[in-house]
């Protein structure tokens, strides 16, 4: 029986297609450089067909890129709970607030989904070493899956990244380089050195498969809510892979007949000190401008310009969504409210997402009767410094 129904890769910018038979980063068409998406010949697959499978990202294997189970590099990622949050919701007079709790993933964050898929495919297609820039959690996930796969891993992170992230990467055997700058400065180093060093670049949306791992959050939310998508999804956004991936997943699910055409309003949440997407969204621009002097203690949100910002902004507008900014002090309050109300010690990015609910209500952009899914993208334990 066929395991994956992957047929080709398509460029999200120029629509050029290519075979998924070798290591590829972005579209090679002259002057393009667009992110590549995995495309599938959709199988005859019912929701019941997957119901009894192991609850990892690979339970949806027909719509994932690995050709066989033997190719998969896994630590059991995915299958995280969607938790009803009645006490948290009651603070704002809401009864239908849910938290997608990603802290239980391997390495403590949702990055395990994307890097699990990316490292799986990198190894399957012949890579010997992977490299990436990171704000923290992506580096730990890449290092862990590279260790599991037997690949070398080179991680570049800003020097002021919380120390625990460096310790984690080094524990997995990765070579860590601290950079005086931000994540995009780290990314430039990877781009400059990867060919000479023999590294495969697994940066956010600069290879085709991290988004495939992240899209499984969209499949899971649909299943966990009885195959009816929520009204609103609140998503703390750095590079935006998960937001883009979920949008892709719901399109695939509609074509499978699993959900209808209705989509959630997608809400991007960024730090006030690093808010390129809200600025571009408010200005009506199709792409963002690099945010100057980017700063926030939520390291996952300190991305001054996302590579696929055009896709993020397009999804916000298609979904009639919003882009919200939150201060670091508000994030801290959000973390404490989530912990004291629901017993969840969220990463600051999760705290930011909860505060965004409050801000949307105050602005009249959210109805108290709507079903809202708030993403906590990782554990707060990594931020105790």
Report the C-alpha gap between 150 and 35 in whole angstroms. 27
Burial class of residue 183 in the structure, from the number of CB atoms within 10 Å of its CB (0-12 exposed, 13-18 middle, 19+ buried): buried
- Residue 355, pLDDT score: 98
pLDDT at 211 over 80: yes
pLDDT at 213 over 80: yes
pLDDT at 344 over 90: yes
> Which range, of 85-89, 134-138, 172-176, 264-268, averages the lowest pLDDT?
134-138
- Residue 365, pLDDT score: 97
Average pLDDT, the chain: 97
pLDDT at 270 over 80: yes
Report the C-alpha gap between 186 and 202 in whole angstroms. 13
pLDDT at 385 over 90: no
Tell me phi and psi for residue 116, to 5 degrees: -60, -45
- Is pTM beyond 0.85? Reply is yes
Q: Which of 108, 155, 153 is nearest to 135 (CA)?
A: 155
Cα–Cα distance list, 343 to 94, 225, 322, 352, 378 (Å): 18, 22, 28, 17, 14
Pairing relationship of beta strands 129-133 and 97-101 according to DSSP bridges: unpaired
The single residue listed with the structure tokens 């105790």 is 384
| Distance of alpha carbon 61 from the chain centroid | 19
| Distance of alpha carbon 139 from the chain centroid | 13
pLDDT band at 277 (very low <50, low <70, confident <90, very high): very high
Pairing relationship of beta strands 82-84 and 322-326 according to DSSP bridges: unpaired
Q: Which of 349, 333, 329 is nearest to 341 (CA)?
A: 333
Say if domain 82-109+211-383 classifies as CATH 3.50.30.60. no
pLDDT band at 289 (very low <50, low <70, confident <90, very high): very high
Residue range 29-44, pLDDT digits in tens: 999 999 999 999 999 9
Report the C-alpha gap between 143 and 153 in whole angstroms. 6
pLDDT at 1 over 80: no
- Residue 226, pLDDT score: 97
- Residue 26, pLDDT score: 97
Q: Quick one: what percent of the chain has pLDDT higher than 90? A: 98
Residue range 151-185, pLDDT digits in tens: 999 999 999 999 999 999 999 999 999 999 999 99
- Residue 12, pLDDT score: 97
Do 322 and 63 touch, CB atoms closer than 8 A?
A: no
The single residue listed with the structure tokens 């498969």 is 209
Q: Supply the CATH classification number for the domain 111-201.
A: 3.40.50.1100
Report the pLDDT averaged over residues 312-319. Answer: 98
- Residue 159, classed as helix, strand or coil, is coil
- Residue 309, pLDDT score: 97
Report the pLDDT averaged over residues 48-60. Answer: 96
Residue 378 DSSP code: B
Burial class of residue 384 in the structure, from the number of CB atoms within 10 Å of its CB (0-12 exposed, 13-18 middle, 19+ buried): exposed
- Residue 255, classed as helix, strand or coil, is helix
């Amino acid at each position: 029986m066929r395991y994956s129904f992957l047929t080709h890769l398509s460029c999200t910018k120029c629509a050029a297609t290519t075979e998924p038979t070798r290591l590829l980063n972005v579209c090679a068409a002259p002057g393009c450089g667009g992110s590549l998406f995995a495309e599938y010949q959709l199988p005859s697959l019912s929701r019941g067909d997957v119901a009894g499978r192991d609850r990892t990202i690979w339970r949806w294997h027909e719509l994932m890129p690995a050709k066989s189970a033997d190719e998969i590099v896994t630590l059991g990622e995915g299958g995280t709970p969607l938790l009803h949050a009645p006490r948290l919701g009651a603070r704002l007079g809401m009864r239908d607030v849910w938290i997608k709790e990603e802290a239980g993933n391997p390495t403590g964050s949702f990055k395990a989904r994307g890097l699990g898929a990316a490292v799986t495919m990198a190894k399957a297609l012949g890579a010997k070493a992977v490299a990436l820039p990171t704000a923290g959690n992506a580096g730990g996930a890449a290092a862990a899956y590279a260790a599991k796969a037997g690949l070398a891993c080179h991680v570049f992170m800003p020097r002021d990244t919380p120390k625990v992230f460096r310790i984690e990467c080094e524990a997995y055997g990765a070579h860590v380089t601290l950079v005086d700058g931000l994540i995009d400065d780290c990314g430039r180093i990877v781009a400059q050195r990867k060919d000479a060093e023999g590294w495969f670049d697994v940066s956010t949306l600069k290879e085709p498969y991290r988004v495939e791992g992240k899209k499984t959050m969209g499949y899971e939310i649909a299943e966990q809510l009885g195959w009816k998508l929520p009204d609103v999804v609140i998503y703390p956004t750095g590079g935006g892979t998960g937001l883009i991936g979920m949008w892709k997943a719901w399109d695939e699910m509609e074509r499978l007949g699993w959900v209808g055409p209705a989509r959630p309003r997608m809400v991007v949440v960024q730090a006030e000190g690093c808010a390129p997407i809200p600025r571009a969204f408010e200005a009506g621009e199709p792409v963002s401008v690099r945010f100057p002097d980017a700063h926030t203690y939520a390291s996952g949100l300190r991305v001054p310009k996302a590579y696929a910002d055009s896709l993020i902004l397009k999804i916000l507008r298609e979904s009639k969504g919003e882009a919200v900014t939150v201060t670091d002090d508000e994030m801290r309050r959000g973390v404490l409210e989530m912990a004291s109300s629901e017993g969840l010690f969220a990463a600051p990015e999760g705290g930011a997402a909860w505060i965004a609910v409050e801000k949307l209500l105050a602005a009249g952009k959210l109805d108290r009767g709507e079903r809202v899914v708030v993403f906590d993208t990782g554990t707060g334990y990594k931020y105790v410094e």
